[in-house]
A = this chain, B = another copy of it.
Amino acid sequence: MYTIGQVSKATGLPVSTLRYYDKEGLFPHLERKGYVRKFSDTELEEVKIIECLKRSGLAIKDIRQFFQWVSEGSSTYEKRRELFARQKEVIQQKIESLEKTMAMLEFKCWYYDKALQDGNENELHQMLPDKLPEEIQKIYDKAHE
């Protein structure tokens, strides 16, 4: 059993955030000893799930919905599986988007490296948009897909 302060240290989330999550119903089985919250390993694992679903772009109310399904038992296995399958696709798209973003940033790094060497952007302007060195052209094209 952990206090909210211990959970805060263990997870890196501020105490105020943990209280907010509780108020939003994200710890449906959280116990109290008097007025004090008593967190268990269940809640520590729930924090991991919350952060996972948050990173995948789910809103708090949809995360609450998930925990609602959990407390409804085996009849909601399918719904839960579908939720995770959907979020897998969301994350896949996010990763692909970030890889394009990365290509743009790599291109820009190369661009300013060259601009610094040349002291100006004259040559660069002549190379754009399709006369870049082969490897750079690939990156540029990926960034501008």
Q: How far is the CB of A29 from chain B (nearest CB, A)?
A: 15
A72 within 8 A of B: no
A1 within 8 A of B: no
Tell me if A's interface is mostly helix, strand, loop or mixed.
helix
Q: Which residues of B contact A84 (CB under 8 A)?
A: 105, 108-109, 112
When the two chains form their complex, are residues B91 and A101 in contact, meaning their CB atoms are under 8 A apart?
yes
Q: Which residue of B lies closest to A91 (CB)?
A: B102
Interface size on A, residues (CB 8 A): 37
Q: How far is the CB of A103 from chain B (nearest CB, A)?
A: 9
Q: Which residues of B contact A56 (CB under 8 A)?
A: 101, 105
How far apart are the CA atoms of A48 and B119 in the complex, in Å? 25
When the two chains form their complex, are residues A80 and B119 in contact, meaning their CB atoms are under 8 A apart?
no
Binds B, one of A20-28, A30-38, A92-100, A130-138: A92-100
